[in-house]
Structure 1
Amino acid sequence: MNLFKEYGLSDDLLKAITELGYTQPTEIQKQTVPYLLSKEEDLIALAQTGTGKTAAFSLPILEMIDPYQKHVQALILCPTRELCLQISKDIASYSKYLSQIRSLAVYGGSNISEQIRGLKNNPQIVIGTPGRVNDMLKRGVLKINQIKWLILDEADEMLSMGFKTELETILKETPKERQTLLFSATMSKQVEAIAKNYMKGAQKISAGGINEVKKNITHKFVMVRDRQKNNGLRRVLDANPNIYSIIFCRTRVETQNVADFLMHQGYAADALHGDLSQSQRDMVMKKFRLKNLRILVATDVAARGLDVNDLTHVIHFSLPDDPEVFIHRSGRTGRAGKDGESIAIIRPSEMVKFNRIKKETSIKVEEMKIPTKEDILKAKEFYLSDKLLNAEFDSEEFELSTVPDLSSISKEELYKRIMFLELKSTWEFYKNEKDIAPIDKNERAAERGRKSSTSRSRKERKDPKDGNNRNRKSKRQGNFTRFFFNLGKRDNLNKVTVIDLINKNTKGARADIGEIDIRDKFTFFEVDANYTDQLLKKINQLSFNGKNMSLEIAQ
């Protein structure tokens, strides 16, 4: 029996979602669907990505929308093009048998003329990113003054990406009597401000708690020396032959380097970062969703809004600065009740940082040893033998032209021969490879000591009384320019926002990013000196949260 029937959904809606396999509502759907069908008050729903949010707000809206009205009745705002397209695709699937319902996705990085033509078909539902929706409002081609529902999906992500001004502009264009639905994984101060200023008497519900660590995700870490990080990663991948994973890196350069290393080693991998054009990004994501790629190497910024199911692993090649980002990364696996693994590959010098992440997120993490060649061969043998014995096989449909006489060979010998052929390349690679020696307590302590010494020397370079000297040192060490930026913690600036700002304003390039030092009222950050003029020209024309940006070379 389809339990969605209890909510009073129409037969056409039920038929569509039953075909999609929707029979048991998720926790967020249990709380949201009946609420929206019976009440007109605003709603704040706290839930992680992958909990079924799209169906939670789409099904009741599709049930209540007037198919004969030729104006936009529901506006859904989301942070990225990928999420916009995913929501649009889901709504099209849910409304498969609702022939009068039309929806349209509007987003940046695509031909705006085609999207404007789409608006002339009078869609009742528009799904869009804040930037493109704002653009269409300014052009006068999108009218939202009669909408009944405004949905802010992943509101915290939209605000952290700097869309506060665009969101406020859009909100002011909507009627006061609308019903506003805010979905967010976190209740940050910015989200609270939006709720306070633009929502009235909102009911608050929570599915699984804010930033709750999923119980079906196993957290592990493996410790390697810095120069062994790539080989350590390779061994982790080889010890998990069924892997379907996102590997997270800090910078675009690191992301591309790791992806290049894996592709050179023969893995079905590719990179996703800010250097890619939209068409390249779409192609990579298409191949990853079809599982033609098994490994996606990505930055946090590039991976925002990606909605991919069935990931077996999330691998943290580099640790994020924000513990919350660590949980967001890990939460991309273990969806829909399936088990998942989160593995961090860290150096001894990063243990202090990793311990802070563990403490602030309350995750339980076990240390795993670096897989040996024996571990890898056993894992691959187990995986292949399981496929050999349990894969679906139709002997009548699949016929061989010649079947040799196997009476002279035992089952055990045949099995060994099959495994030899399948594992030969792995065995040949590792037979002359020395296993990576574990790091003992003394080496860990020595590495932490070197890290502490490096941190002290960095603090000395950051002494405001010695600004000119500090800038010269930074340039000599990595050919960086050190910038002074007029925004800081008081402006809700964080490192992810700074990295995103640099990436957007060095588009088509690979600007290496050095230290980011966010103070209360201002920020210092370092970027490859080749992009000095480009950043100065572009960033000084922008604003953030209503405040004009000012960027100059640190003096």
Structure 2
Amino acid sequence: MENFKQLGINKDIVKGLDELGIVKPTQIQAEVISVLLNGNTDLIGQAQTGTGKTAAFGLPLLHRINPKVDKVQGLILCPTRELGQQIAKQLFKFTKYSDKIFTESIYGGERIEKQISALRRPTHIIVATPGRLIDLVKRKAVDLTYVKTVILDEADEMLSMGFKTQLDEILNYVTGVENKWLFSATMPQDIMKMIKKHFSPSAHKIEVSGRNVVNKNIQHQFLICEDNEKLNILIQFLQSERDNRGLVFCKTKAAAQTLAKQLIAKNIPADAIHGDLKQIERDKVMRAFKNESLRVLVATDIAARGIDVDSLSYVVHYQLPDKEEYYTHRSGRTARAGKEGVSLALVNSKELKSIRYFQKALNIAFSQIRPRK
């Protein structure tokens, strides 16, 4: 398939896509859209973040909405506020030249009264974090009776953030839906159990790039050093990257805060994002990073969920993650939308076995680089 029109996307939406520079479907878009426009179905899609999943499920969802019926007809569940806002914004842009379809993004950390009043406006699609959606349903501020399509985006992220019970509860609310679509970068056991419980046994399964769901445009590198050398090596690396921006990952909040302070002391425009930040503080840090007044964001795995910033040149694993799916998610923050990027792990000799494990489990090749003397 060369373009979206051939896939069956209507010409007014194609006009909106053209304006956004979205002309040739990615692999996940081509495979998913052709299935989802074909009729009602359950679908399981496995694809790394940054491969164009929002359009893959968003375009078929828009085709299913009747703009003349002022009811919530589509529900998208996602792990974080940032991702929810980003999905809602993209759906809005896709429909610039077509009938107006109204999407509302709802999430925790924001005054619930403000969201209740926003939901009184015509709303066809809700993008929600699971906890806040349940609060709004219990307050009768959201009616899910007319929902025909439910989408779980970054399902593995939602489960690892502890949303399993809420997702079960929501999927039990909407038993009459005609379509359930789930997207995930990895397929841990908990996801398989959820699929078995809530999805049709005949659900379509689409996996992009076979077993290897790590983006092909990422160069995976590791450098062996002692723990007390990591800071100087990181600073050398960041200086070599000049004005390029990227993410540096730590395993704990304390480590992320300390590292950010150490980088600032060396005149590197950095800040930390971690679970203790209030939403207003998180928004302020993210704004500074997006408008490029910050070059480096030091993050923990949980805090980085849903971060979507274009043109990140690198990801540095200052501390290696414990699980391969965390490595996949961390690395997937760079090399988005066809660009290239570097994923660099700073490891001590004991951690070398983790690199070998990730190499095998994720089917990727790491190259060793040497520290500059």
Return the index of the structure with the highest Cα Rg: 1
Fold shared by both chains (TM-score > 0.5): yes
Q: Equivalent residue of 2:158, what SS?
A: helix
Do 2:250 and 2:299's aligned partners in 1 also have CA atoms closer than 8 Å?
Answer: yes
- Partner residue of 1:57? 57
- Partner residue of 2:270? 269
- Partner residue of 1:341? 342
Do 2:103 and 2:126's aligned partners in 1 also have CA atoms closer than 8 Å?
Answer: yes
- Partner residue of 1:306? 307
Partners of 2:328 and 2:163 in 1: CA distance: 23
- After superposing on structure 2, the runs of 4+ consecutive aligned residues of structure 1 that deviate more than 4 Å are none
User: How far off its partner does 1:118 sit?
Assistant: 1.2
Do 2:46 and 2:186's aligned partners in 1 also have CA atoms closer than 8 Å?
Answer: yes
1:113 aligns with 2:113: yes
- Partner residue of 2:86? 86
1:402-451: per-residue Cα shift (whole Å, max 9, x none)?
xxxxxxxxxxxxxxxxxxxxxxxxxxxxxxxxxxxxxxxxxxxxxxxxxx
Equivalent residues in 2 for 1:72-221, closer than 5 Å: 72-200=72-200, 201-221=202-222
Do 1:312 and 1:334's aligned partners in 2 also have CA atoms closer than 8 Å?
Answer: yes
Q: Equivalent residue of 2:45, what SS?
A: strand
TM-score, structure 2 length as denominator? 0.95
Structure 1 residues 11, 175: CA separation in 2 closer, same or farther (over 3 Å shift)? same
Partners of 2:163 and 2:115 in 1: CA distance: 21
Q: Equivalent residue of 2:241, what SS?
A: coil
Equivalent residues in 2 for 1:240-279, closer than 5 Å: 240-279=241-280
Partners of 1:359 and 1:58 in 2: CA distance: 33
Q: In the comparison of the two structures, how many residue pairs are matched? A: 372
Structure having the higher helix fraction is 1
- Partner residue of 2:317? 316
1:19-45: per-residue Cα shift (whole Å, max 9, x none)?
100100011110111221112111111
1:293-312: per-residue Cα shift (whole Å, max 9, x none)?
12110000100121222211
Q: Equivalent residue of 1:300, what SS?
A: coil
- Partner residue of 1:39? 39
User: How far off its partner does 1:209 sit?
Assistant: 3.1
Q: Equivalent residue of 2:346, what SS?
A: strand
1:87-119: per-residue Cα shift (whole Å, max 9, x none)?
111111112233531110010000111111111
- Partner residue of 2:353? 352
Do 2:147 and 2:177's aligned partners in 1 also have CA atoms closer than 8 Å?
Answer: no
- CA RMSD for the aligned pairs? 1.7
Partners of 2:209 and 2:335 in 1: CA distance: 14
In structure 2, runs of 5+ residues without a counterpart are none
Partner amino acid, structure 1, of 2:169: T
Partners of 1:87 and 1:365 in 2: CA distance: 33
Higher RCO (C-alpha under 8 Å, 6+ residues apart): 2
Do 2:47 and 2:213's aligned partners in 1 also have CA atoms closer than 8 Å?
Answer: no
Q: Equivalent residue of 1:267, what SS?
A: coil
Q: Equivalent residue of 1:220, what SS?
A: strand
- Partner residue of 1:437? none
Q: Equivalent residue of 1:303, what SS?
A: coil
Partner amino acid, structure 2, of 1:94: F
Structure 1 residues 214, 10: CA separation in 2 closer, same or farther (over 3 Å shift)? closer
- Partner residue of 2:21? 21
Partners of 1:261 and 1:194 in 2: CA distance: 43
Deviation larger for 241-250 or 251-260: 241-250
Do 1:48 and 1:211's aligned partners in 2 also have CA atoms closer than 8 Å?
Answer: no
In structure 1, runs of 5+ residues without a counterpart are 373-555
- Partner residue of 1:10? 10
Same amino acid, percent of matched pairs: 44
User: How far off its partner does 1:210 sit?
Assistant: 4.6
Partners of 2:158 and 2:17 in 1: CA distance: 29
User: How far off its partner does 1:351 sit?
Assistant: 2.5
Q: Equivalent residue of 1:6, what SS?
A: helix
Partner amino acid, structure 2, of 1:126: I
Equivalent residues in 2 for 1:468-483, closer than 5 Å: none
TM-score, structure 1 length as denominator? 0.65
Q: Equivalent residue of 2:37, what SS?
A: helix
Partners of 2:192 and 2:67 in 1: CA distance: 34
Do 1:88 and 1:104's aligned partners in 2 also have CA atoms closer than 8 Å?
Answer: yes
Q: Equivalent residue of 1:76, what SS?
A: strand
